[in-house]
Amino acid sequence: MNKKGKFLLSLGLALGLWAGNHSVSAANKTAADDYIIINKTYNKLAFYEDKKLVGVYPVATGRTKDLTPEGKFKIAQKLVNRPYYKDGIKGGDPRNPLGNRWLGIAVPGKSPAASWGGEYAIHGNNNPSSIGKYVSSGCIRMHDKDVEAIYPRVLMNTPVYIKSSPKSFAALADDLGYIKSTAAKPVAAKQQYLKGSLIGWSGNTFKAKTSKGTKTFHSSNGWLKKELKKGKSYTYFYTVDKKGQYIITKVNK
């Protein structure tokens, strides 16, 4: 065999090994490796693949808070050019308000159609100006280009989490246990207490005579200013901040 033949044979073997490994990797991938999170507070959708964020996309959701259901669901349908049966508009027609891609979400307990992904869905739209707003009858609308981009990558049974929350997508993914945050959790300040009699207030601080001497406590709690009486004894629960100041957490009579 000449050099050219050996090169082609080697190339063929390498491509064969790559294809074999690639198909094994794809075959081992499951829907549980991915996640779709929709936050109605921001009207945005995050698509995670293999625990990595693929992208965040603007969406439109229900006209009222109850129309787009919240909870944990799954993708139960994948359709290209779904007809708009209500007005008899064929799939692929530019007038079709469902766009060209339909990712049906199974929502048990709503209706028979909802349980198999025929009522609620992530889908395209023929009205781009509606995206980002609260205008739908319950579905999650996306720009056609966005839903077409993720459609081939979304597997059947991919989990879908819909929530109204001020939290970030990273925090919501952490809450789900899908991606655990590596950020260090804040350490709660150690609470301590002292017993003593109130001497008096000065702005947002007050002084108390305790067994450990006169202490200055910091608080902006209006209830404390109104309720604590000069000369009376209390138990002061507090933490110490970085500046060494005593910050009140609670007071008991």
In a domain, 92, yes or no: yes
In a domain, 103, yes or no: yes
In a shared domain, residues 39 and 111: yes
**Do residues 78 and 102 touch, judged by C-beta distance below 8 A?**
yes
In a domain, 239, yes or no: yes
Nearest alpha-carbon partner for 153 in 74, 47, 5: 47
Average pLDDT over residues 167-171: 92
In a shared domain, residues 172 and 228: no
In a domain, 159, yes or no: yes
Average pLDDT over residues 21-37: 66
Q: Please determine, for residue 67, whether its predicted confidence score (pLDDT) is greater than 60.
A: yes
For tokens 């910091």, the residue is: 218
Phi, psi of 139 (to 5 degrees): -75, 165
Amino acid sitting at position 66: D
In a domain, 183, yes or no: no
Query: Please, which pLDDT band fits residue 241 given cuts at 50, 70 and 90?
Result: confident
Q: Range of 103's domain?
A: 31-176
Question: How far apart, in whole angstroms, are the C-alpha atoms of residue 234 and residue 141?
Answer: 58
In a shared domain, residues 171 and 46: yes
In a shared domain, residues 108 and 67: yes
Nearest alpha-carbon partner for 251 in 231, 239, 234: 234
Question: How far apart, in whole angstroms, are the C-alpha atoms of residue 97 and residue 127?
Answer: 7
In a shared domain, residues 50 and 143: yes
* Marked catalytic residue, from 22, 123, 143, 218: 123
Question: How far apart, in whole angstroms, are the C-alpha atoms of residue 79 and residue 70?
Answer: 23
The last residue of a domain, from among 120, 150, 176: 176
Chain Cα centroid distance, residue 43: 11
Q: Please determine, for residue 39, whether its predicted confidence score (pLDDT) is greater than 80.
A: yes
The last residue of a domain, from among 150, 176, 202: 176
Q: Please determine, for residue 233, whether its predicted confidence score (pLDDT) is greater than 90.
A: yes
In a shared domain, residues 120 and 160: yes
Amino acid sitting at position 102: W
Q: Please determine, for residue 19, whether its predicted confidence score (pLDDT) is greater than 50.
A: no
In a shared domain, residues 138 and 207: no
Identify the pLDDT of residue 180: 80
The count of domains in the chain is 2
Question: Looking at residue 168, which CATH number applies to its domain?
Answer: 2.40.440.10
For tokens 């829907």, the residue is: 31
The last residue of a domain, from among 133, 150, 176: 176
Average pLDDT over residues 112-127: 95
In a shared domain, residues 67 and 165: yes
Which has the higher per-residue pLDDT, 186 or 78?
A: 78
> What is this structure's pTM?
0.63
Question: How far apart, in whole angstroms, are the C-alpha atoms of residue 182 and residue 120?
Answer: 34
In a domain, 112, yes or no: yes
Nearest alpha-carbon partner for 165 in 57, 43, 60: 43
Question: How far apart, in whole angstroms, are the C-alpha atoms of residue 1 and residue 65?
Answer: 72
218 is catalytic: no
Average pLDDT over residues 91-117: 95
In a shared domain, residues 138 and 201: no
In a shared domain, residues 62 and 98: yes
Q: What is the pLDDT of residues 173-231, one digit of tens each?
A: 999 999 886 665 555 667 898 999 999 988 889 999 999 999 999 887 777 888 889 99
Tallying the residues shown for the chain, one arrives at 253
In a domain, 16, yes or no: no
In a shared domain, residues 220 and 136: no
